[in-house]
């Protein structure tokens, strides 16, 4: 059943507005949503309409209206205990924060959106679109890996409810990844991704291009035009794909930059430069470095290699401000901080904010002791894991304490991400973390241990702290079994630590 079918009022109007937005016609959807809000009295219907209206304003780039629209939508959603609406609202809010160039707020909304959508139990087409919009937000804020994961989730949910997979092609995600590679000097990598995008377009056209979303047209068109600007011939007509595509600011800017690329590809670098200077484009669509990189290509084609070099250096400097290693560390740090805020709100369980580690946002040693004491008083038992970082001393020595703090925040995020619902994670001391798995035995602890090891080993430590390998040493024990206390369990777990491999047995 579609989420819309659960609404009490104005279902047809909301479905029509949603279809218009998905087809890049937000300006037409907006008055329909305003009409629904003028007539509807059902709180859930109003919350849904307010969230969709917020999304329409973002698509149209009406930044001056963002704050009021988000506040109204957030207040309405707060009264509706539905994770889909929360996830969709936070995904839109992340996009809005990105357009306002507020990274901190944008990342916070990304984490909240991901958690809310992951909590949806009954998936439908609206949930698939929620994952799609979250993928877009990840991509625009520069988290390309997270964006690809989210769009795959959208595709899987969509297919499960009968939507064609090509609807969630989202070429813009890989396009932003491609130009990001070019901005950082990896033009060969950029071209590989752009070739893959064209291959996908060819495949989708062969099964019916009418299934592609209009919003994808400009992204496909720009991918083709960008390849042409880099000197590669394409098998598809870029100009055709740059037409249409809806009324969003993203489509408008991609169309303009695509025409710049096509002008350059026809051997007219002077007019291409004039086009770049004549129409300003948002720095948030393909990154602030894209116009500078195109200017460099134009100068090189005109034979002005000094100007080309200067423009390339400027593009590289702009791109360096968006490198993923700092953003990934920031994302995990925000996730940990949100965990801390959630536990602080539950004062009866966790006490005051002196129980929180200020660096990672995780519960600290005092909070761990209180948590376990309460659990033991109820006669419960749990698996206890002690994890510490191998190589952390060398990180501080070679890269400084700032990088060491980023590593600790990244590990806090990894642990928080792989835990099961109801598990407890704390920063115990220094580079030592403790996890508590209530009611868990050997089998459950072994599975969590494997997940921790896999997640830690999958992190790209070479990018964050080059030349300094990082791994986790983990040991496990039990608390509450045979009267074992927390201190005894921690000592047994510490003695049982093994580096970066799953637990074999608990003591």
Three-state SS string over 436-496 comes to: EEECCCHHHHHHHHHHHHHHHHHCCHHHHCCCCCCEEEEEEEEECHHHCCHHHHHHHHHHC
> DSSP secondary-structure letter at 432?
E
> Are 349 and 427 spatial neighbours (Cβ–Cβ below 8 Å)?
no
Count each helix (H run) and each strand (E run) in the chain, helices first: 24, 5
Higher pLDDT residue, 446 or 334?
Answer: 446
Using only C-alpha atoms, the chain has a radius of gyration, in whole angstroms, of 25
Three-state SS string over 200-254 comes to: HHHHHHHHHHHHCCHHHHHHHHHHHHHHHHCCCCCCCCHHHHHCCCCCCHHHHHH
- The CATH class that applies to domain 348-499 reads alpha beta
Residue 507 has pLDDT above 60, yes or no: no
> DSSP secondary-structure letter at 141?
T
Q: Which ranges of 141-170 does DSSP label H, i.e. alpha helix? A: 144-160
Structure tokens at 72: 């109204």
pLDDT at residue 194, as a whole number:
93
Residue 170 contacts by C-beta under 8 Å, 6 or more apart in sequence?
132, 135, 136, 139, 151, 154, 216, 219
pLDDT at residue 1, as a whole number:
47
Residue 69 Cα to chain centre, angstroms: 22
Residue pointed to by tokens 């809010």: 93
CATH 1.25.40 for the 169-322 domain, yes or no: yes
Q: So where are the chain's domains?
A: 169-322, 348-499
What's the pLDDT tens digit per position in 283-319? 777 888 899 999 999 999 999 999 999 988 888 888 7
Structure tokens at 97: 């924060």
What global pTM score does this model have?
Answer: 0.58
Spatial separation of the C-alpha atoms in residues 59 and 23, rounded to whole Å: 11
Structure tokens at 398: 């070679």
- Of 334, 329, 366, 338, residue with least CA distance to 350: 366
What's the pLDDT tens digit per position in 99-141? 777 777 788 888 888 888 888 877 788 888 889 889 988 888 8
**Averaged pLDDT score across all residues of the chain:** 81
pLDDT at residue 505, as a whole number:
34
What's the pLDDT tens digit per position in 415-473? 877 777 678 899 998 889 999 998 887 778 888 888 888 888 877 777 677 788 888 88
Go through 311-341 and write b for each residue having 16 or more CB atoms within 10 A of its CB, e for each that does not.
bbebbbebbeebebbebbbbbbbbbbbbbbe
Rounded (5°) CA angle 87-436-506:
135
pLDDT at residue 473, as a whole number:
84
pLDDT at residue 350, as a whole number:
43
> Are 116 and 92 spatial neighbours (Cβ–Cβ below 8 Å)?
no
Structure tokens at 34: 């305003």
> Are 231 and 190 spatial neighbours (Cβ–Cβ below 8 Å)?
no
Higher pLDDT residue, 417 or 93?
Answer: 93
> Are 372 and 485 spatial neighbours (Cβ–Cβ below 8 Å)?
no
């Amino acid at each position: 059943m579609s989420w819309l079918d659960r609404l009490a009022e104005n279902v047809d109007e909301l479905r029509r507005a949603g279809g218009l937005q998905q087809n890049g016609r937000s300006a037409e959807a907006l008055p329909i949503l305003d009409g629904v809000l003028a007539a509807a009295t059902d709180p859930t219907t109003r919350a849904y309409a307010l969230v969709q209206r917020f999304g329409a304003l973002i698509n149209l780039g009406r930044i001056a209206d963002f704050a009021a629209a988000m506040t109204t939508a957030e207040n309405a959603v707060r009264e509706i205990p539905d994770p889909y609406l929360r996830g969709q609202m936070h995904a839109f809010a992340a996009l809005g924060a990105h357009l306002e160039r507020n990274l901190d707020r944008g990342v916070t909304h990304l984490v909240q959106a991901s958690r809310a959508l992951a909590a949806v139990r009954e998936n439908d087409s609206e949930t698939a679109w929620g994952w799609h919009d979250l993928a877009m937000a990840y991509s625009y804020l520069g988290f390309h890996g997270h964006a690809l994961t989210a769009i795959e989730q959208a595709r899987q949910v969509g297919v499960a409810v009968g939507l064609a997979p090509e609807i969630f092609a989202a070429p813009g995600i890989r396009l932003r990844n491609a130009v990001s590679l070019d901005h950082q000097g990896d033009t060969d990598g950029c071209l590989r991704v752009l070739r893959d995008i064209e291959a996908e377009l060819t495949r989708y056209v062969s099964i019916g291009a009418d299934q592609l979303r209009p919003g994808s047209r400009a992204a496909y068109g720009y991918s083709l035009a960008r390849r042409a600007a880099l000197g590669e011939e394409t098998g598809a007509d870029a100009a055709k794909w740059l037409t249409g595509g809806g009324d969003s600011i993203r489509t408008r800017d991609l169309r303009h930059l695509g025409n710049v690329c096509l002008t350059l590809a026809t051997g007219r670098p002077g007019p291409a430069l004039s086009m770049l200077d004549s129409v300003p484009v948002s720095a948030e669509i393909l990154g602030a470095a894209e116009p500078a990189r195109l200017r460099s290509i134009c100068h090189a084609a005109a034979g002005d290699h000094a100007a080309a070099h200067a423009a390339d250096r400027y593009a590289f400097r702009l791109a360096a401000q968006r490198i993923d290693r700092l953003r990934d560390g920031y994302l995990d740090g925000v996730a940990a901080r949100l965990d801390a805020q959630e536990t602080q709100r539950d004062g009866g369980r966790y006490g005051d904010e002196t129980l929180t580690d200020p660096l990672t946002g995780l519960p600290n040693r005092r909070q761990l002791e209180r948590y376990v004491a309460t659990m033991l008083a109820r006669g419960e038992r749990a698996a206890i894991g002690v994890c510490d970082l191998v190589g952390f001393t060398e990180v501080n020595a070679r890269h400084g304490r700032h990088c060491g703090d980023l590593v600790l925040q990244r590990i806090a995020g990894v642990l928080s991400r792989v835990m099961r619902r109801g598990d407890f994670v704390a920063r115990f001391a220094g580079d030592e973390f403790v996890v508590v798995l209530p009611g868990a035995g050997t089998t459950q602890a072994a599975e969590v241990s494997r997940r921790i090891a896999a997640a830690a080993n999958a992190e790209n430590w070479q990018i964050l702290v080059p030349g300094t390998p990082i791994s986790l040493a983990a040991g496990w024990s039990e608390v509450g079994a045979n009267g074992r206390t927390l201190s005894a369990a921690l000592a047994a777990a510490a003695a049982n630590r093994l580096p970066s491999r799953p637990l074999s047995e608990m003591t």
